[in-house]
Amino acid sequence: MQQAIKNTSNSQNGLWGFIKTNIFDIFSVMGLVLCIVIFTITSNGNLWNSYNISILIESVCVYMILALGALFVYSMGYMDVSVGVQLGVYSILMIFILNATGSMALAFITILVLALLCGAFNGAVAVWLGLPSIVTSLFLMFVFGGIQYILIEQTGSNMISVKNYDISKFADSTVMIIAMVAVGLIVFYAFNFTKLGKYTRGIGSNETTTAQCGVNTTLWKVIAYMMFGVCVAIASVFLLARTGSAGKGTGSTYAMDIMLCIILGGMPLSGGMSSKVRSAVIGTLTYVLLSNGLTLSGVDIQTIHIIKAVIFLAIVLLTCRDKNKILPR
Amino acid sequence: MKKTFKKIISLMLIAVIVVSCMSLSACNGGNGETIKIGIGLYQDQGPAVTATRAFLDGISQELNCEFTYVTLSQTDEAANKTAAQQLISSGCKGLILTMDSATEAILEECAKAGIYLGGYLSDYEQSFDSIKSNPNFVGTVVDGRYSGTAWGEEIAERIINEGYKNIGMIKFPSFAFPHQNEMDSAFRAKIDEYNATAADADKITVQAQTTELMFQPLSADYFSANPDIDAIYGMCAGVDFIYPTLTQNNKTNIKLYTAGFSVDDSVLNNFGTSGNGCFQELVFSNVEAITYPLVMLLNKIEGQEFSDNPSEAQRVDSSQIRITNNEELNTVKEKSMYYTGKFENSFLSASDVSALLAKNGGTHEDLVKAVQSMSTEDLEAK
C-alpha cells in the first residue's frame, strides 16, 4: 500500500519526484562514483592495478561483513560501540584455540557462541533495564577492552600469532568475495523479505507504534543484535586472516569506521524505513576507496584526516532530517 | 531555506576537496623517474617527525628519491598491513617502517610486489629472527643500542658520583620493551657493587620492585609508596610519563634521569642547573639514523651490493645524544637537527649519504660507522 502510494506520487511528479524520494541514495551513489573518478585520475591509474584491486578486496571484506550485520542494529536507530573490541578479543581467542588444537571449527564455534551471547546481552539488557542500548554496548566495550588487554598481557608479548594453522587461505581474494556475496545475499533476504528486516525498520521509524501493532519489539531487538553478532564472528575470521596475528589494539577502530561506512552509504543514523542494504554496500566501498585513494594520490597524512572529517560533516549535513533524530539511541 | 543552505554548504565542501585532490595530482606529476620510498612512522607530528621529514627532504634530490608518509598504529596489525599495502600500491619501491607489527605479513606483500623493507629506530625484537634471512628485508637500525646494559651502568655511575641515596625505578612493561630489563639489572648490579664497599651512611637504596607504566602517566600514589626517593631512573619516556606527575605533585625536587627528549621550553628550562633542575639526563636517537635502511634499500632497488655486504639482514646500533649538563643541552639546541628541524644541522649532507651507496663505492662498514658517529661528542665537534 505504502509502496503503491509512493509509486503513484513518483509517477505524478516525474523525474523530480523520483529524485526527491531517492535523494539520499542518489547522493551516496554519486559519492562513490565521484571517488572512483577522482582517484582514477589522481592516482595515475594505480587505483586499478591488479595489486591494488586485491588489497581493496582484502580491506573491503571485513568492513562489508560488519556493515551488513550492523544494518539490522542501525535500522532500529541503535548502535553498538563494542564491535571493535569484540573483534580484537575474538581474534585473540581464535589464535589461542588454533594454536592449542589446530581446529578452525572449534575456534569459530567458540567465538560465534560468544558473539551471540553479546548480541543477546546488548539487545535484552537494554530493554529490561530501560537503558539506551549504547550504554550496554559501552559496558561491553570496557569489559572486552579489559579482557583483550589481559589476554595479551598473559602472553608476555604485545601480539600473538597463529602457529598451528594456515589461516592465510581466508585471505585469498576469491574466498573473501564469496564470503561477502554470501553474507550480502543472506542479509538482503533477511532485511527485505523477512519479519526481521520489516520489524527492525519499524522499530527505527516508531518503536511505540510498532509495539502497539503487536510486535514483540524486545525479541526482535535481541534477534537483530544476534544477527550482527554472527557477522562480527565471521568478520573476525577474515580480520585475523589478514595478518595471522592479533594484539592489544586489534579491531579498535572498527566501531566508528562502521558507523562512517553506513553514514557514507546515505543511511540516516536514526534508522527507520529508509534503511537499505545498499547503504552498507555503497558506504563501505566509498569509505575504503576514500582511504586507499587519498594515500595513492599522495595526499599528506594530516590532510587525509581533515578530508575525512570534512566529508563526514558534509554527509551528515546532507542526510540529517530531524534535529531530534540525528544520533542513534 | 535552511535545508537548501545546508546542502549548498556540504556540496561546496566536497567541491573544495575535489579541486584540491585534482591540483595535488597535477603537482605530483612528472616524477616518474624518481624512486619512491614509503615511510611509516608511529606518530604523525612532533619534533622527531619534523626532523625526519626535513632530513629526507634535504637528501631527496641528490638521491633522486621521493618519500610518502603514513602513520602506523602501535597496536593494530591489520591497520599497519593496510598502510603498507597502500604504500606499495602507490608505487613505492621500498618501505621503511618504525613498527615491528604484522612484519611477516608485510614482507609477504613486499615479496609479491618485488619491493623491500627496512626498519628505522626499532630492533624488530619480535620478528627479527624469523625475517633476517628474508631477501626482501634489508635490516634495521636500532633506537640507540640493542643491549640496554651500558646505559644502565652509566646512569648508576652518575647516581653514585652525584650522591643520591634513594632511587626510584620506572620503566615500560617488559613485553613491549624487553631491553629495559637489562638496563634495570645493570643499574642494580652496579649499585650493589658500590654498596658492597660503601660506608653505611653512603649506601644507596634502590626501589625494590621497579614500577611498570602501562603507557599511562605515573600515578600520584607512587610518592606515597616511595616517600623518600631523591632521584628517579626513568628507563621509559620520562618527559611525557613521569615529569608531568612530578610537577602536578610539587615533587620537582626529585632528580630525573630519563630516556626521551622534548623541544618544549617547559622541559628544557628545567634541565641541569636551570629552573627547578628536575631533569638531569635526557637521551634521544638521531633521525639521521634513517640513512642505514635507506641506503640498504636503494642498493637493493638499484641492483647494487656492498663489497662487504652481510649475508643476512643486520640489526645495527645507532649512536644517541646523551644530554647530561647545561653545556651539552646548549650544544643540542644550537647544532642538533632534532631540535632545530633544519637540514643544515644534519650530521650527514646529501652528498655524504650518496657517497655511502654501493654504486658510489660505499661499504657496509662505512654505513654502520656513519650511523654510529652521531653522539654528543660528535655533535660538539661539528
| ipTM confidence | 0.76
* A36 vs B contacts (CB less than 8 Å): none
**B360 has a pLDDT exceeding 70:** yes
Among the three residues B265, B285, B305, which one is the final residue of a domain in this structure?
Answer: B285
Cα→Cα distances B257→A137, B51, B171, Å: 43, 24, 12
CA distance B340 to B379: 13
- The proportion of chain A whose per-residue pLDDT surpasses 70, expressed as a percent, equals 90
Q: Which of A43-47, A85-89, B102-106 has the lowest mean pLDDT?
A: A43-47
Subunit contact B89:A44, Cβ cutoff 8 A = no
pLDDT of residue A45: 79
CATH of the domain at B39: 3.40.50.2300
Do residues B62 and B351 lie in contact, with contact meaning Cβ atoms separated by under 8 Å? yes
CB-based contact B77 A291, cutoff 8 Å: no
- B8 inside 8 A of chain A by CB: no
Q: Looking at residues B85-114, what average pLDDT do you find?
A: 92
- The alpha-carbon gap from B10 to the nearest alpha carbon of chain A, in Å, equals 4
| B13 near A CB under 8 A | yes
What's the rounded mean pLDDT across residues B255-260? 94
CA distance B375 to B378: 5
Q: Tell me which of B22, B53, B82 to substitute to probe the interface with A (most A C-beta atoms closer than 10 Å).
A: B82
H, E, C per residue of chain B: CHHHHHHHHHHHHHHHHHHHHHHHHHHHCCCCCCEEEEEEECCCCCHHHHHHHHHHHHHHHHHCEEEEEEECCCCCHHHHHHHHHHHHHCCCCEEEECCCCCHHHHHHHHHHHCCEEEEECCCCCCCHHHHCCCCCEEEEECCCCCCCHHHHHHHHHHHHHHCCCEEEEEECCCCCCCHHHHHHHHHHHHHHHHHHHCCHHHCCEECCCCEECCCCCCCCHHHHHCCCCCEEEEEEEHHHHCHHHHHHCCCCCCEEEEEECCCCHHHHCCECCCCCCCEEEEEEECHHHHHHHHHHHHHHHCCCCCCCCCCCCCEECCCEEEECCHHHHHHHHHHCHHHHCCHHHCCCCHHHHHHCCHHHCCCHHHHHHHHCCCCHHHHHHC
Distance (Å, whole) CA B304 – CA B298: 8
The CB density around residue B135, as the number of other CB atoms within 10 Å, is 12
Tell me: pLDDT of B98 over 60: yes
Residues B185 and B275 in one domain: yes
pLDDT for the residue B362? 95
Q: Would residue A307 count as lying in a domain?
A: no
Q: What is the pLDDT of residue B215?
A: 79
**B6 lies in some domain:** no
**Contact: B13, A314; criterion CB under 8 Å:** yes
**Residue B29 pLDDT level (bands cut at 50, 70, 90):** very low
Burial (CB count within 10 angstroms: exposed 0-12, middle 13-18, buried 19+), residue A317? middle
Residue A75 lies in a domain: yes
B226 and B166 within one domain = yes
Residue A220 lies inside a defined structural domain of this protein: yes
Q: Please tell me whether residues B245 and B305 are part of one structural domain.
A: no
Mean pLDDT of chain A: 86
Say yes or no: A59 contacts chain B, CB-CB below 8 A: yes
CA–CA separation, B251 vs B224, rounded Å? 12
Residues B183 and B89 in one domain: no
Is residue B331 situated within a structural domain?
no
pTM of the model: 0.81
Closest to A118 (Cα-Cα) out of A147, A97, A96: A147
Q: Report yes or no on B359 lying in a domain.
A: yes
CB contact under 8 A, A247 and B76: yes
Instruction: Count how many domains chain A has.
Output: 1
Q: Is B18 on the interface with A (CB under 8 A)?
A: yes
Mean of the pLDDT values across residues B152-156? 95
A155 at B interface, C-beta within 8 A:
yes
Using only C-alpha atoms, chain A has a radius of gyration, in whole angstroms, of 20
- Range of lowest pLDDT (B22-36, B146-160, B260-274): B22-36
Evaluate if residue A8 carries a pLDDT over 70: no
State the sign of the Cα–Cα–Cα–Cα dihedral A271, A313, A27, B87.
negative
Crossing angle of helices A277-296 and A173-193, in 10° steps, is: 150
In a domain? residue A235? yes
Contacts of A160 in chain B (CB under 8 A): none
Q: Are residues B135 and B222 in the same domain?
A: no
Chain A partners within 8 Å of B17 (Cβ): 307, 310-311
B78/B178 same-domain check: no
B201 and B166 housed in the same domain = yes
Cα Rg for chain B, rounded, in angstroms? 23
Flag if A251 and B88 touch (Cβ within 8 Å). no
Instruction: Note the pLDDT tens digit of each residue in A205-254.
Output: 888 899 998 899 999 999 999 999 999 999 999 999 998 999 888 998 89
User: Whole-angstrom Cα distance, residue B330 to residue B376?
Assistant: 11
pLDDT score for A87: 95
Range of the domain at B244: 149-285
**Contact assignment for A295 to B101 by CB distance below 8 Å:** no
Q: Which residue has the cell 597502500?
A: B86
Interface of B with A in 119-158 (CB under 8 A): 126
Span A72-93, mean pLDDT? 93
Q: How confident is the model at residue A201 (pLDDT cuts 50, 70, 90)?
A: very high
Instruction: Give the pLDDT score at B249.
Output: 93
Is any Cβ of chain A less than 8 angstroms from the Cβ of B17? yes
Of B285, B303, B332, the one marking the end of a domain is: B285
Same domain, B57 and B178: no
Is residue B32 pLDDT above 70, yes or no? no
Q: Does any domain span residue B222?
A: yes
Instruction: Determine, yes or no, domain membership for A314.
Output: no
A172 Cβ under 8 Å from any chain B Cβ: no
Q: Is A161 helix (H, G, I), strand (E, B) or coil?
A: strand
Whether A155 maps to a domain, the answer reads yes
Distance (Å, rounded) from C-alpha B352 to C-alpha B349? 5
Distance CA B11, CA A31 (A): 11
> Do B154 and B202 have their domain in common?
yes
Cross-chain Cβ contact A307/B17 below 8 Å:
yes
Query: Which residue, B285, B301, B333, sits at the end of a domain?
Result: B285
Which residues from A are below 8 Å from B7, CB to CB? 317-318
- When CB atoms are compared, the residue of B13, B24, B101 closest to A313 is B13
Asked whether the beta carbons of B37 and A53 are under 8 A apart, the reply is no
> A190 to chain B, minimum CA–CA distance in Å?
30
Q: B270 with B294, same domain? A: no
What is the structure's pLDDT at B30? 42
User: Which residues, in sequence order, are bridge partners of residue A161?
Assistant: A245
At B26 the pLDDT is: 47
Q: Is residue A313 part of a domain?
A: no
Residues B64 and B137 both lie in one domain = yes
> For position A1, what pLDDT does the model report?
41
What is the distance between the alpha carbons of residues B158 and B154, in angstroms, rounded to a whole number?
6
Chain A contact set for B75 (CB, 8 A)? 158, 247-250, 252
Q: CA A32, CA A65: separation in Å to the nearest integer?
A: 18
CA of A38, closest CA in chain B: separation in Å?
Answer: 7
A249 phi and psi angles, rounded to 5 deg: -105, 5
Number of domains within chain B: 2
Statement: residue A158 has pLDDT above 80: no
CA distance A291 to B214: 31
A252 touches chain B (CB under 8 A): yes
Same domain as B294, residue B364: yes
8 Å CB contact of B25 and A317: no
A9 has pLDDT over 80: no
Cβ–Cβ gap B77/A299 under 8 Å: no
State the pLDDT at residue B286.
Answer: 94
Q: Which chain A residues touch B11 with a CB distance below 8 Å? A: 314
What's the pLDDT tens digit per position in B52-82?
Answer: 999 999 999 999 999 999 988 877 888 899 8
pLDDT at A6 over 60: no
Residues of B in Cβ contact (< 8 Å) with A300: 69
Domain that holds residue A245: 60-255
Is A121's pLDDT higher than 80? Answer: yes
* pLDDT of amino acid A5: 47
Chain A: residue nearest B42 by CA? A301
Q: Does B87 touch chain A (CB under 8 A)?
A: yes
